[in-house]
A and B are shown apart, each in its own frame.
Chain A
Amino acid sequence: MDRRTFVKRTCIGSAGLLLGGAPALGSDELVLPLAPPIDVREAPLGKKSPLGMPGLYPGSVVEVADQRAIAGNRVSQPIVREMLERGLKELTGENSARAAYAKFIEPNDVVGIKINPSGAPACCSSPELVREIIDGVRSAGVPARNIVVYDRFGYEMDIGSYQTLLPPGIRVLGVQDGLLDASGYDANVYCQADFFGEWETRSYMASIVAKGVDKIINVPTLKDHSASGVTGCLKNVAYGTFNNVARSHKAPYSFTNPLIGVMCTVEPLRSKVVLNIMDGMRMVWHGGPLTQNQDFIYQAGILMVSTDPVAMDTIELEAIDKKRREQGAPSVWARNPKSITADGREFYGDASKNLFYRQPGHIAAAGKLGLGVSDLKQIDHRKLQLG
């Protein structure tokens, strides 16, 4: 095995979760097909990092809100700066943002900042927030040349204008050029499963994650997802690190549960993700991940900070489902065949419709894989209201 490990992850996906704390389903709802086993080939690690998921503060999520953070769809960088500093200090107990970053980052680290540009320009990681994170990493002693802002798809980063809007000296990297470009991936680190009889059953890890960076700061957005329920910390680093992931969902079925959680366990990804900063300036409560329909994008003006991706995504899931209830849309847990449509235009215009049976249970499944805390009662959810 070339000093690499090759293991079969225990699947505790769809069926397991039906027994494991998901909301009760209506009698007219479906029992979905079981996910196949997933084989994992991962890079060798001498020792798992204590900073890796769920990190230094499992079960803790700090949410910072400020009404001034976004106005007219424009994000205020000075307000974001204050929000981020307060959130980091609250999470770590340190008295400065610089000291907080130093909990996770060392000056000789190469630091990856994993943004979420899918959905650009309407809803993606705010450049204002990314700039603040870059400043924070630099304050911990990391030179600009050792900071890489990355995602899988270069064209999505182009649309978000990240290349232009971020400071000189850092790298801005799109891992792959086109849908079938595999040159930016490590052929020796992968997840393998046959979901729907696809010819390529492997998803390879991005080389920038496998070999290029020492630490990763994950910057997901607060967003509904038609296949996985929500796209938060877990999905941003899983489906934003491995290629060939769209194969996990074929309408109307989705095996995002358990694939998302399993991918997050694969080393070295698991050990490298040390901090999650969720961009909740805008909340997409329907049509994610790609909608541009402003009717479904709420300017929430919040940030969340945590080392525990499961706890944070659990909070995100609650927030999005609450917003959907307020808007009269069905829960992301709903599995009503009448809600399924194959018409993308209908999905993007009607919050009662969906393309897949969503799989929000992927979050709890990830918790069972040891990635964090999914029980709301056990999550220390601290809320700060600044303005």
Chain B
Amino acid sequence: MEMTNYPFEAEGPVVPENDWITLLKDNARSGGRGAPALASPAKARWQMRVGSSIRSAPVLHEGTLYVTSTSGYLHAIGTDNGRLNWKFKAGGQIHSTPSLCGGAILFGCDDGKVYAVNGESGTKVWEATTEGEVWTSPVTRQGVVFFGSADGHMYAVDAQSGRKRWKQELGGRIYSTAYAAEKSIYVGCGDGHVHSLDAASGKILWSTLTGNGIDSSAALSGDTLLIGSEDFFIYALDASSGAVRWKYETGLGVSSPPAVSGGVAVIGSKDGYMYALEITTGKLRWRMEAGQVITGPAVFGDSVIYIQSWGLHALDAATGKVVWRAGLGTGVQNAPVITERTIYLTSSDGDVYALE
């Protein structure tokens, strides 16, 4: 398969309006920023089951929804009718949110591999091997795919071939999806460090220690890096030095990745609250009690924030007040895909919904 360009990279061509190519929509982690606020869904246009638990977020490209599941399959589902176009069997359970790179779908697997699968045919393009399960979502930048593994290493591989560019050992297991900026990679680690790595070489540029392991994934807003830690704090770090600008204490560990928009970071905690914090100061704008543990990422619409926590919650972005709720989509690391008129939702029970 030819993959000569990388149209879905952060600084590359604009992502088509209805595409949702990686965790939180695009490599900038915009989380759907600008999508219109949707009313409470009136019906499911379709609903299907993939046969096992879904512990990841789906991605969307040109009318196809890509969903991974713990049965070890990547499913390609037509968004018009919910029918399965094809499915690809990997070598183990899949907990990784897929991402798109050119015409390929990338995802990690519990068999220790990252797979690149042709998005149209469902055939394997390449695979890259690690020594531990890969739950993180592969992130592509400038022709290089970055991902962490439970073997304690960050990897950079060539996007066309999967050939290794570099491998960097960190101090613990990696379940934090990397954020790829122009020259730096930012990632949290199970040993409690947030690391900045040189994108070209993998060399560690700085490391900042938090009080416990990190499985939250970072987001960058200007020169501020935001990430949660199992030490109960949400951190804002200087992206160039790792210096702590502020930290905000929640009631329990923070696995949820932040979504950033309009100077505000929205992030959930295992204490059951969503927090909206001003990025420059760390000041609390609002918090909302979801009633259950929150571990998945929030998704930003135009004026609404969506979060899956034993159901789907739509919150007013300005106040945090509940706009509507739907008792569908129980999830641990699941997050919806939002388009102009449809919400695509997966659940840990193995259901996929197109709500409108």
Interface residues of A (CB under 8 A from B): 73-74, 120-122, 127, 154-155, 158-159, 161, 163-169, 177-178, 181, 292
Q: Which residues of A contact B190 (CB under 8 A)?
A: 164-168
Q: Is B151 a contact of A164 with CB atoms below 8 Å? A: no
The chain A residue sitting closest to B292, CB to CB, is: A292
Which of B151, B211, B215 interacts with A161 by CB under 8 Å? B215
Q: Is A168 a contact of B215 with CB atoms below 8 Å? A: no
Q: Which residues of A contact B151 (CB under 8 A)?
A: 168-169
Q: Is B52 a contact of A159 with CB atoms below 8 Å? A: no
- Tell whether A292 pairs with B332 under 8 Å between CB atoms, given A159-B295, A161-B230, A164-B230: no
Q: Is A158 a contact of B173 with CB atoms below 8 Å? A: no
Interface residues of B (CB under 8 A from A): 52-53, 55, 70, 93, 132-133, 135, 150-152, 172-173, 175-176, 190, 211-215, 230-232, 251-253, 255, 270, 272, 293, 295, 332-333, 348-350
Which of B152, B175, B332 interacts with A159 by CB under 8 Å? B332
Which of A155, A163, A165, A166 interacts with B135 by CB under 8 Å? A163
Q: Which residues of A contact B215 (CB under 8 A)?
A: 161, 163-164
Q: Is B333 a contact of A168 with CB atoms below 8 Å? A: no
Q: Is B232 a contact of A167 with CB atoms below 8 Å? A: no
Q: How far is the CA of A163 from the CA of B333 in the complex (A)?
A: 14
Sample of 15 more A-B contacts, CB < 8 Å, known A154-B53, A158-B333, A178-B53:
A73-B251, A74-B212, A74-B232, A120-B293, A121-B253, A127-B213, A154-B70, A161-B213, A163-B173, A164-B172, A165-B190, A167-B190, A168-B151, A168-B152, A178-B350
Q: Is B211 a contact of A74 with CB atoms below 8 Å? A: yes
Q: How far is the CA of A129 from the CA of B159 in the complex (A)?
A: 40
The chain A residue sitting closest to B350, CB to CB, is: A178
Q: Is A292 a contact of B293 with CB atoms below 8 Å? A: yes
Q: How far is the CA of A374 from the CA of B150 in the complex (A)?
A: 42
Q: What are 26 pairs between A and B in contact, CB < 8 Å?
A: A74-B212, A74-B232, A121-B252, A121-B270, A127-B213, A154-B53, A154-B70, A155-B55, A155-B332, A158-B55, A158-B295, A161-B213, A161-B215, A161-B253, A161-B255, A163-B133, A163-B150, A163-B173, A163-B175, A164-B173, A165-B212, A166-B173, A168-B190, A178-B349, A292-B272, A292-B293
Q: How far is the CA of A297 from the CA of B351 in the complex (A)?
A: 35
Q: Which residues of A contact B232 (CB under 8 A)?
A: 73-74
- Tell whether A122 pairs with B333 under 8 Å between CB atoms, given A165-B212, A166-B173: no
Q: Is B295 a contact of A164 with CB atoms below 8 Å? A: no
The chain A residue sitting closest to B211, CB to CB, is: A74
- Tell whether A168 pairs with B150 under 8 Å between CB atoms, given A155-B348, A163-B175: yes
Q: How far is the CA of A120 from the CA of B332 in the complex (A)?
A: 12
- Tell whether A158 pairs with B213 under 8 Å between CB atoms, given A163-B175, A164-B175: no
Q: Is B295 a contact of A177 with CB atoms below 8 Å? A: no
Q: Which residues of B contact A168 (CB under 8 A)?
A: 132, 150-152, 172-173, 190
Q: Is B252 a contact of A122 with CB atoms below 8 Å? A: yes
Q: How far is the CA of A163 from the CA of B96 in the complex (A)?
A: 13
Q: Is B270 a contact of A159 with CB atoms below 8 Å? A: yes
Q: Which residues of A contact B93 (CB under 8 A)?
A: 177
Q: Which of A168, A177, A181: most chain B CB closer than 10 A?
A: A168
Which of A122, A164, A177 interacts with B213 by CB under 8 Å? A164
Q: Which residues of A contact B172 (CB under 8 A)?
A: 164, 167-168
Q: How far is the CA of A299 from the CA of B135 in the complex (A)?
A: 33
**Helix, strand, loop or mixed for chain A's interface?**
loop
Q: Across chains A and B, which 10 residue pairs bring their CB atoms closest together, nearest first?
A: A168-B152, A164-B215, A165-B213, A121-B270, A164-B175, A164-B190, A164-B213, A158-B332, A177-B53, A177-B70
Q: How far is the CA of A5 from the CA of B150 in the complex (A)?
A: 40
Q: How far is the CA of A330 from the CA of B215 in the complex (A)?
A: 40
Q: Which residues of A contact B348 (CB under 8 A)?
A: 155, 178
The chain B residue sitting closest to A128, CB to CB, is: B212
Instruction: Tell me how far the C-beta of B232 lies from the nearest C-beta in chain A, rounded to whole angstroms.
Output: 7
Q: Which residues of A contact B295 (CB under 8 A)?
A: 158-159
- Tell whether A73 pairs with B293 under 8 Å between CB atoms, given A127-B213, A158-B332, A177-B70: no
Q: How far is the CA of A189 from the CA of B133 in the complex (A)?
A: 30
Q: Which residues of B contact A166 (CB under 8 A)?
A: 173, 190
Q: Which residues of B contact A169 (CB under 8 A)?
A: 132, 151-152
Instruction: Tell me how far the C-beta of A125 lies from the nearest C-beta in chain B, rounded to whole angstroms.
Output: 14
Instruction: Tell me how far the C-beta of B180 lies from the nearest C-beta in chain A, rounded to whole angstroms.
Output: 20
Instruction: Tell me how far the C-beta of B333 lies from the nearest C-beta in chain A, rounded to whole angstroms.
Output: 7
The chain B residue sitting closest to A176, CB to CB, is: B53
Q: How far is the CA of A122 from the CA of B212 in the complex (A)?
A: 16
Q: Is B230 a contact of A165 with CB atoms below 8 Å? A: yes
Instruction: Tell me how far the C-beta of A185 lies from the nearest C-beta in chain B, rounded to whole angstroms.
Output: 16
Q: Which residues of B contact A155 (CB under 8 A)?
A: 53, 55, 332, 348
Q: How far is the CA of A161 from the CA of B135 in the complex (A)?
A: 12
The chain B residue sitting closest to A168, CB to CB, is: B152
Q: Which residues of B contact A292 (CB under 8 A)?
A: 272, 293
The chain A residue sitting closest to B171, CB to CB, is: A168
Q: Which residues of B contact A154 (CB under 8 A)?
A: 53, 70
Q: Is B293 a contact of A177 with CB atoms below 8 Å? A: no
Q: How far is the CA of A101 from the CA of B272 in the complex (A)?
A: 38
Q: How far is the CA of A186 from the CA of B214 in the complex (A)?
A: 35
Instruction: Tell me how far the C-beta of A303 lies from the nearest C-beta in chain B, rounded to whole angstroms.
Output: 19
Q: Which of B52, B173, B230, B349: most chain A CB closer than 10 A?
A: B173
Q: Which residues of A contact B213 (CB under 8 A)?
A: 127, 161, 164-165
Q: How far is the CA of A74 from the CA of B250 in the complex (A)?
A: 12
Instruction: Tell me how far the C-beta of B251 lies from the nearest C-beta in chain A, rounded to whole angstroms.
Output: 8
Instruction: Tell me how far the C-beta of B275 lies from the nearest C-beta in chain A, rounded to whole angstroms.
Output: 16
Q: How far is the CA of A348 from the CA of B215 in the complex (A)?
A: 29
- Tell whether A121 pairs with B293 under 8 Å between CB atoms, given A73-B252, A163-B150, A178-B349: yes
The chain A residue sitting closest to B170, CB to CB, is: A168
Instruction: Tell me how far the C-beta of A49 lies from the nearest C-beta in chain B, rounded to whole angstroms.
Output: 32
Q: Which residues of B contact A167 (CB under 8 A)?
A: 172-173, 190
Instruction: Tell me how far the C-beta of B26 lies from the nearest C-beta in chain A, rounded to whole angstroms.
Output: 25
Q: Is B52 a contact of A177 with CB atoms below 8 Å? A: yes
Q: How far is the CA of A337 from the CA of B78 in the complex (A)?
A: 54
Instruction: Tell me how far the C-beta of B341 lies from the nearest C-beta in chain A, rounded to whole angstroms.
Output: 31
Q: Is B214 a contact of A164 with CB atoms below 8 Å? A: yes
Q: How far is the CA of A292 from the CA of B273 in the complex (A)?
A: 13
Q: Which residues of A contact B132 (CB under 8 A)?
A: 168-169
Instruction: Tell me how far the C-beta of A78 lies from the nearest C-beta in chain B, rounded to whole angstroms.
Output: 13
Q: Which of B55, B150, B151, B232: most chain A CB closer than 10 A?
A: B150
Q: Is A178 a contact of B52 with CB atoms below 8 Å? A: yes
Instruction: Tell me how far the C-beta of A25 lies from the nearest C-beta in chain B, rounded to whole angstroms.
Output: 37
Q: Which residues of A contact B350 (CB under 8 A)?
A: 178
Q: Which residues of B contact A73 (CB under 8 A)?
A: 232, 251-252
Q: Which residues of A contact B176 (CB under 8 A)?
A: 164
Instruction: Tell me how far the C-beta of A164 lies from the nearest C-beta in chain B, rounded to whole angstroms.
Output: 4
